[in-house]
Amino acid sequence: MKQNNVLFVTGIDTNIGKTYATAFLADRLSSAGKKVITQKLVQTGCVDSSEDIEAHRRLTGSPLIEEDRMGLTCPFIFSYPASPHFAAEIDGRAVDCTIIDRATEALLARGYDRVLLEGAGGLMVPISKDYLTADFVADRSYPIALVTSGRLGSINHTLLNLEICRHRGIAVESVIYNLYPLTDERIAADTHDYLDYYLRQYHPETELIVMPARS
């Protein structure tokens, strides 16, 4: 599996807009002529089907597809809305990352140019007690798209995530600047300008992409 065929979509916090960003990137890549599919690392707070995968399809104007029904796009679904390690414990199960890997490989084998793999929470969220999301990403050399916003405090959280990536050797392909929800316009504008400056100074290989506020 070529690592650059998989883009891991993560965020600076929960409820930052990862699901919308994943659909946004899927549309962007599709418009560039790429055959792309979205996948979810682990879904919590659901039974039988992944609400995030369903949202990806709805936002990109697609019905559920065969790969969804086969379970390839979300191999692990847990009922309790909690961190993956705890949700798995509550359901008396465990996350086997080799199953996720095989599902990703199967998607690429079906002719997709790129898999957009949405995480659960942020990079430091535990998949198990001894294995973090950042471990999962670094072990596979996946590049990431990091979702942030203009809300107060996001500069600190964004830079902390960039430091984690630098420390662990994780390539940051893009920072997705989510304009939703609308916040203090002056703070939002300054946050964008500061992140643009910071990335040009310290992460010149990283693209800053503005994701418009949804209606």
Catalytic positions, please?
40
Measured distance CA(88)–CA(25) in Å, rounded = 29
Strand 36-40, strand 114-118: pairing = parallel
Give the end-to-end CA distance of the chain in Å, rounded to a whole number: 37
Measured distance CA(151)–CA(166) in Å, rounded = 24
Binding site: residue ranges? 15-20, 44, 52, 118-121
Binding site for substrate: residue ranges? 44
Yes or no: say if 23 and 56 are a contact pair by the CB < 8 Å rule. Answer: yes
**Could you tell me the two tokens for 32?**
């560039």
Q: At what angle do helices 154-168 and 133-140 cross, to 10 degrees?
A: 50
* Exposure of 181 in the CB half-sphere (CA atoms within 13 A): 3
